[in-house]
Amino acid sequence: MALIVQKYGGTSLSSVEKIRWAAAHLVRTKEAGNDVVAVVSAMAGETDRLYEMCLEVMDPPDSRELDVITSSGEQVSSGLISMAVRALGHDAVSFQGHQVRILTDDSYSNARIMDIDAVRIREAMGCGKIVVVAGFQGVDSGGNITTLGRGGSDLTAVALAAVLGADACELYKDDVDGVYTADPEVVAGARKLRRVSYEEMLELSSLGSRVLQGRAVEFAKKFGVPVQIRSTIEPEREGTWVIEERSAMGELEQMLISGVTFDNNQSKITAIKVPDRPGIASRLFTLISDEDIVVDMIVQNVSTEGYTDITFTVSRTDFKKALGITERVAGELGASGVVSDKKIAKLSIVGVGMKTHSGVASEMFRVLAAEGINILMISTSEIKISCVVGEKYSELAVRALHKAFGLGEAK
Ligand code: ASP
Ligand code: MG
């Protein structure tokens, strides 16, 4: 008998029919002889609706009450799923974060899980019940309701799977059925991967792949939770396993690159000709991080005659704020000017095969050059190479790279 955690995302719960389908799937899994714990998101669009309502009442909203309100979407869907299971004649019970008890720190809206006491879940499973847990929510040591950041139900599912020692954590989606070599809407021949390693998935999540919350992948990696992304549309089909590199190696070894992605939500800012002396980068990036702006790439040139240029990228959402800060501090830094570009994209190729193979970067640059695409910035990690290019080239570049690295070919 296996213990399976199944997470149902918001789009898989967007109507009463879909809720019934999820309940029936839980029952099928249980009848096949497994113990099942469901983790549910709010019904599609509900969390956004709640956020917007809060903003209408108070902007910026009170952080404690914001979590009281936004966590309620999951309360509704957990109750509904449990009821739908009961309507099918099976026993089920729903638990909220504080009932489980998912103890978090007190950073409202983005709380970290400190501890999970799964006694009530185990008791209920012991009585033969299907347990339905509201995702996304926890409770701090003072008893206040907290939430785990957008997409946080993935984290709830992975964390519960870790604590319960589950055999698998299945994440059901209905907009995707796995992780692909590229966005199938952009690359016609994109192929679903059978397996990716946690590390690759982390890079893919941080690159804007919406498949899995980044923090959930980090957690899965830390505790070795085998995660599978599956489709509610075709639940019998194998999805993509996100697992440890070692166990994925057989397949990964043949593959240099697992995927090509791009992110158009990028912009870049350059402080030109700043004096090359200690404290300049520190001053600029402290001001930027004080505003909670996340900087992605940073490039500083070799200095000539005591001056250098500093270029960095931020999401387009933060562009105006970051540009404003840079322009305000430019005089103090001794910069001769600030230039910026809002129409850029970040292209990345990801693959653990890069650790052991050379020539991947040069191949990427060759492909871009052959398409006449100019590279504006480059950054690399052990398993990723990213190039910033003009936004208008991003889709062309993804297709060319996908083809050059043979990603569409059946393995
Ligand atoms: N409902 C929350 C959100 O929309 C959590 C989740 O869906 O994972 O971010
Ligand atoms: Mg979601």
Q: Is 260-404 in the same CATH topology as 3-251?
A: no
pLDDT category at 14 given cuts 50, 70, 90 is very high
Beta bridge partners of 139: 103, 145
Q: Which atom of ligand 1 is nearest to the CA of 74?
A: 1
Of 71-85, 150-164, 226-240, 353-367, the poorest mean pLDDT is in 226-240
Ligand 1 contact, 152 CB (< 6 A): yes
In CATH terms, 260-404 corresponds, of 3.40.91.50, 2.40.50.420, 3.30.2130.10, 3.20.19.10, to: 3.30.2130.10
Global confidence as pTM: 0.83
Pocket flag, ligand 1, residue 241 (CB < 6 Å)? no
Tell me: pLDDT of 254 over 90. Answer: no
Work out the mean pLDDT of the chain and round it to a whole number: 93
Q: Is 135 in the pocket of ligand 1 (CB under 6 A)?
A: yes
pLDDT, residue 333, reads: 95
- Cα angle value 226/169/46 (rounded, 5°): 135
Return the pLDDT at 77. Answer: 98
Q: How many alpha carbons lie under 13 Å from residue 119 in its C-beta half-sphere? A: 5
| pLDDT grade for 213, boundaries at 50, 70 and 90 | confident
Mean pLDDT for the stretch of residues 250-275: 84
Specify which residues 304 forms β-bridges with: 307
**Model confidence at 249: pLDDT above 70:** no
Q: Residue 253's pLDDT is what? A: 47
* Ligand 1 pocket member 10 (CB < 6 A): yes
Q: What letter represents residue 108's amino acid?
A: Y
Give the per-residue pLDDT at 250.
53
Q: How far is CA 183 from CA 20, 395, 401, in A?
A: 30, 10, 13
- Averaged pLDDT, 317-321: 94
Q: 3-251: which CATH topology?
A: Carbamate kinase (3.40.1160)
- Between CA 275 and CA 309 the distance in angstroms is 9
Is the pLDDT at 315 greater than 90, yes or no?
yes
Distance CA 142, CA 198 (A): 34
Coil, helix or strand at residue 86: helix
* Per-residue confidence band for 304, with pLDDT thresholds at 50, 70 and 90: confident
Distance 341 CA to ligand 2 centre (A): 31
Domain boundaries, the chain: 3-251, 260-404
Please report the atom of ligand 1 found closest to the CA of residue 148: 5
CA of 350 to the centre of ligand 2 (A): 24
Burial class (CB in 10 A: 0-12, 13-18, 19+), 297: middle
The tens digit of pLDDT for each residue in 97-125 reads 999 999 999 999 999 999 999 999 999 99
**Residue 241 CB partners (closer than 8 Å, separation 6+):** 194, 195, 196, 226, 227, 228, 248
- Is the CB of 40 within 6 Å of ligand 1? no
- Angle of helix 63-70 relative to helix 72-87, nearest 10 degrees, comes to 20
What pLDDT is attached to residue 210?
66
Mean per-residue pLDDT, 28-50:
97
Sequence-distant (≥ 6) Cβ neighbours of residue 328 within 8 angstroms:
none
Question: Which ligand 1 atom sits closest to the C-alpha of 149?
Answer: 9
245: confidence class by pLDDT, cuts 50, 70, 90: confident
Choice from 40, 41, 145 to test ligand 1 binding pocket (greatest atom count within 8 A of CB): 41
Asked whether the beta carbons of 376 and 389 are under 8 A apart, the reply is yes
